[in-house]
Chains A and B, each alone.
Chain A
C-alpha cells in the first residue's frame, strides 16, 4: 500500500538528526519525559525529567476532567475515577494517550501553560519505550501513530529495560563509562505498575528467550490493599488515597511469619497485646484541612480513638477518620514474593529470576547474578532489596556472588539511560529511524530494525571477543579466590573485557578486591590486535597474584 500522503513538508534530510531528542518513558502509571541533546557535551540530569501521571481522571466532586499533568493541580483527590490508556504495560487506547501527550508536550495545544516540554514534533527525535513482549499489532499501531499522527521526524522505539544499560553502573567496582556505551551485562528487574519484568541485557540488547514477566505490580498491590482496608472502611473507589497509603505505610518484611505473629490480636482464650511498633493508625485526609494523610503508632486506648473520631482532642478540632493497619502493611507486598497467597499460579520474584536464568546458558548465570539492578516504582518499598537478596542467596550455590542494587532514582532510571543514549551522536544515529525510511521501507522493516536486526558488521563482533576472552579471566578469578583465601572473596566477577586487561590496570589488592578496567568499546572492531592482549592480560593478572 503506497504511503504518499501525509508526509509533511518539514521532514529533515535523511542524514540529519534534529537537535533535540524527546525521551518518553511511557509507563502505565506515569510518563517520564524530558529533552536531551546530542549537541551538548554533558548528558541531561534527572532534573530535566518530568514525571507526568499517565491517566485521565474525572472527579465527581469538582465535575472536572483532569488530563495528564493537570492532576497535580487537583485539590480534592477524593472519589477520583481514573482511566488509563496503558493497559498491562502497553498503550492500547491511543485516543486517551494522544490527549495526554498533546496536553503535555505538543506545541499546538493552546493550553500549554508553563511547561517546558512544548516541542514541535517535526523537529524533534523521539525515543519511546514500551514493555517487552508486546503484541505485534500494538507495536505497529505505535509506529503508525508516532509517524503519521504526531509527525515526529525520527524515532526509536525500544523496550524499557534496554535503556537502563546506558545509565551509570551502580556497583562501585565498575568504573564509569562514557555515555552512549552500554554496560556489559545486567539483569534488570523492573518492578512496575502493571507487572514485574525480568530482563537479562547484554551490551544493551535484551536476551529475549530469557525475559520473564510476573503479573504482580504496583496496581495489584494497590487493589489488594483496597480490599483489605475495605473490611473496615470502604475505599474501593479511592484509588489515589490507597496508593498514598501503600507508599507511606507498606514495607516488605524480612521474616514474614515473625511479623505476622506480632500483629495478631489473639484468639478468644489467649488474647495478646498488639505490637505497637508494627501496627499504625493512618489518619485519612479530608481535603479540607488535612490535605495529605499521615500515620502514627497505634493507640491502643479505645477511648482515645473514639474521641478523635468525634473530633475531641485532635489538632484541627475536626473529626478524624482513622484506619488501623496491622498485618496489611507487610502482607500486601508479600504478594510479590509469594503470589500464591491470592491463588495466582506463578512463581514469586525469586523463582521468576531463577526461571529467567535457566533459559540462559549456564556459564552466564554467575555473571548475571552478580549484576542485578532493580528499577521501578514498586521497588521503593522498604525492605524490598534485602528480601530479594536473601531469597536469592538461599536459592543458589554458596559460591556464587550475588549483588543486587536499586537505582538511585528507580522511577527515572530508564529516562536517564535514554538521555545518555541520546547524548551520543554516533549511537543515536545508528538507532534512529527517520520518516523517510519508514515511508520507503514499510513497517515490517522498521519493526525489525527496532528489534535490533541490523545488518552485519556492527559492534557485535568485539563483544564476542570480550566474552570469550574473559572466560579465562573468570576461571582465573575463581581459582585465584580459592588460592588467596584471605577474606571471603569479594571479587566482582563481571566479565572483564579482554581489551582492558592488556593495560594491566587490574591489581590484586590486600583486601582481594579487583578493580577491573572499564569497557571502552571502539566502534571499529579491533579484532586482530585484541587477540594477543588476552594472553598478556592473563599473565599479568597472575603476575599480580604472585606478589605477597
Chain B
C-alpha cells in the first residue's frame, strides 16, 4: 500500500480494486524520492562534481556534513600526534630480581593505594569524570562552594543568629563561611594626583596635548582586585586551553604532502595538496591509492 514517498526504486504495488473501477493500465505512478526532491534525506554525495552540478546545489547541512568528516580526520590526526605512547605498548614491569616481599609491596599498602595502582584509567577518563562532576554539581570538589554544603541547617531564626566571629580569625585553610574581609592596610589610592605627579607636569608641558592619549598609563589594580585574582580557583583543564585564533586571521596554510613547500594544486580524488607537477605525480603513484583503498 502506497502511503507516502517510498524508498524503493522499484516498488511492487498492487492496488486491489475495492470498488468498481475501470480497467486501468498495469502500472501505477509512484513517487520515488530522489536526491533533489527531499533535501532532508540527502546527505550529500562525496562526488564533488555531482554535488556541484546537482540541481539546487548543496544545502548548508550537506556542506556541514562534508566538512565535519574532514574535521574528524584532522582531529584524529592531531590526537595521534599528541599521543603519549606511539603504539599500544604493553610493558609489564617485570619482577625485580632482588625483591624480597614481592607481591604485597607491588600491590600497594592501603586499600586506597591499591585501587590507585590497579586502576587502568587513562587521562581521558579522569578528564571525563571531572567534566561530568562539574556538569552534575556545578562545582569542583574542594573549591569555595564547599562550605555551603558543610554548614548545618541552623534552627536559630535569622534574627537571633549571632555573627560568627571565629571564621574570619581562623588561620586554617578550611573553607571559609563568611566572605573574607579586605586586609586592613592603609590603602593608598591609585589615582593620587595630589602628591607625586605635581613635579611631573612641569616636565612635559611642551607637548601636553598630543601625548595625553598615548601617555595614559593604565590603572594599576587595587588590592581587592589582586586579592581576587590570587585567590581565584584554578581553571579546569578545558578552560585553560588556548582559544582558537580570532576569525580575522588568514586561513590555515596548506603544504605540499610530498615535499613540504606551499600546496598549490589539490588532488581530485583525495583532496591532498601538492606543490608542483613532479610532486603530484609522486603523490598519484604512491600515496593517493592508499587513501582510496
A: which residues have CB within 8 A of B?
5-6, 28, 56-58, 65, 67, 81-84, 86-88, 90, 92, 94-96, 98-99, 109-111, 132-138, 141, 144-145, 148-149, 194, 202, 205, 207-215, 219-220, 223-224, 227-228, 231, 236-237, 239, 260, 263-268, 326-328, 331, 338, 340-348, 351-352, 355, 360-366, 399, 441, 444-445, 447-449, 451-457, 460-461, 463-465, 467-472, 474-476, 478-480, 482-483, 525, 527-528, 531, 534-535, 538-539, 542, 545
Comparing B13-21, B42-50, B197-205, the segment that makes contact with chain A is: B197-205
User: Of all chain A residues, which has the CB nearest B71?
Assistant: A343
- A67-B93 in contact given A448-B173, A479-B203 (Cβ < 8 Å): yes
Which among A212, A444, A480 is the interface contact of B240 at CB below 8 angstroms? A212
Q: Which of B3-11, B156-164, B188-196 sits within the interface?
A: B188-196
Closest B residue by C-beta to A210: B229
- In the complex, the answer to whether B142 meets A136 with C-beta atoms within 8 Å is yes
Q: Which residues of B contact A338 (CB under 8 A)?
A: 253
Q: B126-158 toward A: CB 8 Å interface, digit per residue (1/0)?
A: 110110000000001110001000000000000
Q: Smallest CB-CB separation from B96: which chain A residue?
A: A111
> Which residues of chain A are near B142, meaning CB under 8 Å?
136, 444, 447-448
> Cβ of A527 and Cβ of B185 under 8 Å apart?
yes
* Contact code string B250-276 (vs A, CB < 8 Å = 1, else 0): 001101001111100000000000011
13 contacts between A and B (CB under 8 A): A133-B236, A137-B130, A138-B126, A145-B116, A205-B230, A220-B82, A327-B261, A344-B78, A355-B243, A456-B183, A464-B183, A472-B197, A538-B195
Distance, CA A96 to CA B242, complexed state (A)? 30
Interface 9-residue window, one of B31-39, B52-60, B216-224: B216-224
Indicate if the CB atoms of A468 and B190 lie closer than 8 Å.
yes
Kindly state the separation between the CA atoms of A236 and B211 in the bound complex, as whole angstroms. Answer: 59
Query: What distance in Å separates the Cβ of B80 from its nearest Cβ neighbour in chain A?
Result: 7
**Of the residues A228, A266, A534, contact of B188 by C-beta under 8 Å:** A534
Q: Answer whether residue B65 sits at the interface, using C-beta atoms and an 8 A cutoff.
A: no
Secondary structure at the B interface, as helix, strand, loop or mixed, is loop
Checking A96, A267, A341 against B276 with a beta-carbon cut-off of 8 angstroms, the contacting residue is: A267
B67-97: contact bitstring with A at CB < 8 Å (1 yes, 0 no)?
A: 0000000100110111111110101111011
| B179 CB within 8 Å of chain A | no
When the two chains form their complex, are residues A445 and B196 in contact, meaning their CB atoms are under 8 A apart?
A: no
Residue pair A144, B116 in contact (C-beta under 8 Å)? yes
Q: How large is the interface on B (under 10, 10 to 19, 20 to 34, 35 or more residues)?
A: 35 or more
- Most-contacted residue by chain A among B92, B113, B225 (CB, 10 A): B113
Q: Which residues in window 212-245 of B have CB below 8 A to A?
A: 214-215, 217-223, 225-227, 229-237, 239-245
Picked from B86, B96, B170, the residue with its CB within 8 Å of the CB of A109 is B96
Residue contact B172 to A455, C-beta cutoff 8 Å = yes
- Is B103 part of the contact surface with A, judged by Cβ < 8 Å? no
B133 to chain A, nearest CB (A): 8
Question: For residue B219, which residues in chain A have a CB less than 8 angstroms away from its CB?
Answer: 361-363, 471
Chain B residues closer than 8 Å to A476, beta-carbon distance: 196-197, 200
Q: How far is the CA of A26 from the CA of B211 in the complex (A)?
A: 50
Complex formed: what's the CA distance from A460 to B240 in Å? Answer: 25
Give every chain B residue within 8 A of A351 (Cβ-Cβ): 242, 245
Instruction: Report Cα–Cα, A511/B175, bound state, in Å.
Output: 52
Q: How far is the CA of A323 from the CA of B74 in the complex (A)?
A: 27
A455 to chain B, nearest CB (A): 3
B93 touches A479 (CB 8 A): no
Give B260's nearest chain A residue, CB to CB: A327
Which residues of the other chain, B, contact A213 by a CB distance below 8 angstroms?
A: 240-242
Q: Which 10 A-B pairs have the closest CB atoms?
A: A455-B171, A110-B98, A267-B276, A464-B223, A471-B220, A343-B74, A340-B252, A361-B221, A483-B203, A87-B123
Contact of B173 among A260, A454, A464 (CB under 8 A): A454
Q: Which of A231, A343, A399 contacts B214 (CB 8 A)?
A: A399
Judged by a CB distance under 8 angstroms, whether B248 is at the interface is no
Q: Are A455 and B170 in contact (CB under 8 A)?
A: yes
Nearest A residue to B276 via CB reads: A267
- A133 contacts B234, C-beta separation under 8 Å: yes
Which residue of the partner chain A has the closest CB to B129?
A137
Cβ-closest chain A residue relative to B81: A223
Q: Is the CB of B226 within 8 A of A81?
A: no
Chain B residues, CB < 8 A from A448: 142, 173-175
- Residue pair A83, B85 in contact (C-beta under 8 Å): yes
**Contacts known (A92-B126, A448-B142); A341 close to B252, Cβ less than 8 A:** yes
Check if A527 sits within 8 Å of B235, measured CB to CB. no
Choose one: A56, A67, A92, A135; the contact of B129 (CB below 8 Å).
Answer: A135
Query: How far in angstroms is the closest Cβ of chain B from A207?
Result: 5
CB neighbours of A464 from chain B (8 A): 183, 185, 187, 223, 226-227
A527 to B185, CA, bound (A): 7
Contact present for B226 and A82 (CB under 8 Å): no
B85 touches A82 (CB 8 A): yes
Using Cβ atoms and an 8 Å threshold, which residues of chain B touch A239?
Answer: 86
Check B196–A538 contact: CB distance below 8 A. yes
Q: Is the CB of B116 within 8 A of A535?
A: no
Q: Separation in Å of the B53 CB from the closest CB of chain A?
A: 29
Q: Say whether, besides A144-B112, A207-B229, A267-B277, A347 and B243 are in contact (CB < 8 Å).
A: yes
Complex: A528 Cα to B170 Cα, angstroms? 24
**B2 at the A interface (CB under 8 A):** no
* Residue B26 at the chain A interface, CB threshold 8 Å: no
Instruction: State A231–B257 Cα separation when bound (angstroms).
Output: 9
CA distance A137 to B116 in the complex (A): 10
| Of B98, B122, B253, the contact of A341 (CB 8 Å cutoff) | B253
Q: Specify the chain B residue showing the minimal Cβ separation from A66.
A: B91
**Chain A residues whose C-beta falls within 8 Å of the C-beta of B129 in the assembled complex:** 135, 137
Contacts of B146 in A (CB 8 A): 444
Does residue B293 face the partner (Cβ distance < 8 Å to A)? no
Please determine whether B252 and A148 come into contact, CB atoms closer than 8 angstroms: no
Contacts of A212 in B (CB 8 A): 240-242
Please indicate which of the listed interface residues B116, B203, B242, B258 has the most CB atoms of chain A within 10 Å of its own CB: B242
B106-123: contact bitstring with A at CB < 8 Å (1 yes, 0 no)?
Answer: 001110110011100111
- Chain B residues, Cβ within 8 Å of A227: 81
Q: Which of B86, B223, B261 is within 8 Å of A264, CB to CB?
A: B261
Query: In the complex, are the beta carbons of A214 and B242 less than 8 A apart?
Result: yes
- Known contacts A148-B110, A363-B221; decide if A82 and B86 are in contact (CB<8 Å): yes
